[in-house]
């Protein structure tokens, strides 16, 4: 049987890394006459942004010196709390709430396990298929846990073949197994395809289970300190934008991403790299204190 994929719509537009980068900036200005799709913005003769068709700032070559791989980013989304829907043939008519797994996890061989109510459309489809291979796509949508312009931070798609696993869940529930055939991610770092073997071998970011609460805490309790980080940008801080809002947007073991905006849709992102990748919340606290101290001098 031919095994269909569902990732051909995603292309890799990330750029080569510049290993000398530390603090880096991607800009965002509206261009009302531009065609839909990626838009390159030039500032002072240099390309600083590739703008996605969702309006998100894209990383420049300066920004991606230290970054998680596409496989790691995809694995992180699967094992995060971001929303997910499982798309299977014949279930298109059901509301998205009927297509959302209650839990999801990744097995040792890279398969994705999804827990559903026993009467969910995906369970009925997998049960009806029996020994046939049922194609399915798990679509994940990552939304920033704080209010910012262009709040969707990324999406990932994992396509493969779905089977049911009777006896692996409690009463009224059914565990489904998604064997990964293709995967892709399109997020703040750029767009890329993900090899199933790389996905199986990747590890999620160690901060994934804490990122939401950490960003919300930074925004609510350390707003002035986060804003003060803009002083580390020097002449790059303005970027043609009269900054009104400064919001912590994303956090991973390599650093913190902040979005600066003028409140009218114009914005740019900046990454602040940690001296060393952090392994847990304790190391993150020390890294953040060093960042805040650097901004005060």
- pLDDT, one tens digit per residue, over 194-223 is 999 999 999 999 999 999 999 999 999 999
**pLDDT: is 238 or 84 the higher one?**
84
Rounded Cα distance between 258 and 63, Å, is 13
Same domain, yes or no: 82 and 192: yes
Least confident of 9-23, 122-136, 175-189, 204-218: 9-23
State percent of the chain over pLDDT 90.
62
User: Tell me, what's the pLDDT at 237?
Assistant: 55
In a domain, 32, yes or no: yes
* Residue 50 · residue 40 · CB < 8 Å: yes
> Domain with 109 in it: what CATH number?
2.30.110.10
Tell me what the mean pLDDT of segment 17-31 comes to.
42
State how far the alpha carbon of 80 is from the alpha carbons of 73, 103, 106, 115, 191, in Å.
10, 10, 11, 15, 19
- Whether 158 shows a pLDDT value over 50: the answer reads yes
Residue 125 resides in a domain: yes
pTM: 0.79
Helix (H, G, I), strand (E, B) or coil at 208: coil
CATH of the domain at 243: 3.20.180.10
Q: Note the pLDDT of residue 266.
A: 80
pLDDT at 253 over 50: yes
Q: Provide mean pLDDT across the span 100-109.
A: 97
Are 4 and 160 in contact, with CB atoms under 8 Å apart? no
Q: Looking at the predicted structure, is the pLDDT value of residue 12 above 80?
A: no
**Res 54: pLDDT:** 55
Q: Answer with the residue of higher pLDDT: 217 or 31.
A: 217
Same-domain status, 146 and 221: no
At 52 the pLDDT is 52
What's the DSSP call for residue 75?
H
168 and 82 in one domain?
Answer: yes
If pLDDT is split at 50, 70 and 90, which confidence band does 98 have?
A: confident
189 and 81 inside one domain? yes
- Largest distance between two CA atoms of the chain: 65
Nearest-angstrom CA–CA distance, 102 and 53? 31
Q: Does 189 lie in the same domain as 79?
A: yes
pLDDT at 105: 97
Q: Give the model's confidence band at 174: pLDDT under 50 very low, under 70 low, under 90 confident, else very high.
A: very high
pLDDT reported for residue 205: 98
Q: Does 218 or 230 have the greater pLDDT score?
A: 218
Q: CA 117 to CA 147: how far, in whole Å? A: 32
| Single residue among 201, 223, 243 that ends a domain in this structure | 201
Are 186 and 95 contained in the same domain?
A: yes
Q: Residue 279 is part of which domain span?
A: 23-68+208-295
Which of 182, 201, 220 is the C-terminal boundary of a domain?
201
Please tell me what DSSP assigns to residue 235.
G
Same domain, residue pair 44 and 157: no
What is the predicted pLDDT for the residue at 40?
30
C-alpha distances out from residue 161 to 98, 126, 178, Å: 19, 9, 6
Report residue 259's pLDDT band, with 50, 70 and 90 as the boundaries.
very high
Final residue before a domain boundary, out of 141, 175, 201: 201
The answer to the question of residue 287 being in a domain is: yes
Residue 176 CA: distances (Å) to CA of 79, 106, 164, 245, 249: 16, 12, 4, 43, 33
Residue 112 lies in a domain: yes
Residue 196 lies in a domain: yes
Q: In the chain, how many domains are there?
A: 2
The yes-or-no verdict on residue 104 having pLDDT over 50 is: yes
**Contact criterion met (CB below 8 Å) for 150 and 139:** no
Do 102 and 63 lie in one domain? The reply is no
For residues 87 and 119, state if they share a domain: yes
Question: Mean per-residue pLDDT for 126-144?
Answer: 91
Same domain membership, residue 144 and residue 77: yes
Please check whether residue 192 is in contact with residue 10, taking contact to mean a CB–CB distance below 8 angstroms: yes
Report the sign of the C-alpha dihedral through residues 112, 118, 121, 127, in that order: positive
59 and 78, same structural domain? no
Do 229 and 285 share a domain, yes or no?
yes
pLDDT score for 11: 29
Q: Is residue 2 part of a domain?
A: no
Is 145 inside any structural domain? Answer: yes
How many angstroms separate the CA atoms of 52 and 231, rounded? 27
């Amino acid at each position: 049987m031919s095994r269909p994929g569902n990732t051909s719509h995603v292309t890799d537009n990330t750029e080569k890394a510049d290993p000398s980068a530390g603090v880096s900036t991607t800009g965002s200005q509206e261009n009302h006459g531009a065609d839909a799709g990626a838009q390159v913005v030039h500032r002072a003769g240099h390309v600083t942004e590739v703008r996605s068709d969702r309006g998100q700032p894209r990383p420049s070559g300066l920004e991606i010196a230290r970054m998680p791989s596409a496989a790691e980013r995809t694995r992180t989304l699967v094992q995060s709390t971001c929303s997910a829907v499982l798309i299977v043939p014949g279930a298109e008519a059901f509301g998205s709430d009927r297509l959302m797994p209650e839990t999801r996890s990744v097995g040792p061989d890279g398969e994705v396990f999804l827990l559903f109510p026993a009467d969910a459309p995906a369970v009925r489809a997998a049960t009806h298929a029996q020994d046939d291979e049922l194609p399915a796509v798990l679509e994940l949508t990552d939304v920033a846990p704080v209010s910012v312009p262009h709040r969707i931070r990324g999406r990932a798609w994992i396509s493969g073949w779905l089977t049911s696993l009777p006896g692996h869940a409690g009463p009224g529930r059914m565990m489904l197994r998604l064997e990964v055939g293709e995967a892709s991610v399109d997020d703040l770092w750029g767009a890329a395809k993900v090899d199933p073997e790389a996905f199986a071998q990747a590890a999620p970011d160690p901060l994934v289970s804490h990122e939401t609460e950490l960003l919300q805490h930074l925004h609510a309790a350390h707003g002035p300190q986060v804003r003060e980080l803009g002083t580390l940008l020097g002449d790059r801080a303005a970027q043609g934008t009269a900054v009104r809002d400064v919001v912590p947007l994303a956090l991973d073991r390599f650093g913190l991403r902040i979005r600066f905006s003028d409140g009218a849709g114009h914005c740019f992102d900046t990454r602040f790299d940690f001296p060393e990748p952090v392994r847990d919340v304790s190391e993150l606290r020390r890294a953040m204190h060093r960042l805040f101290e650097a901004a005060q001098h």
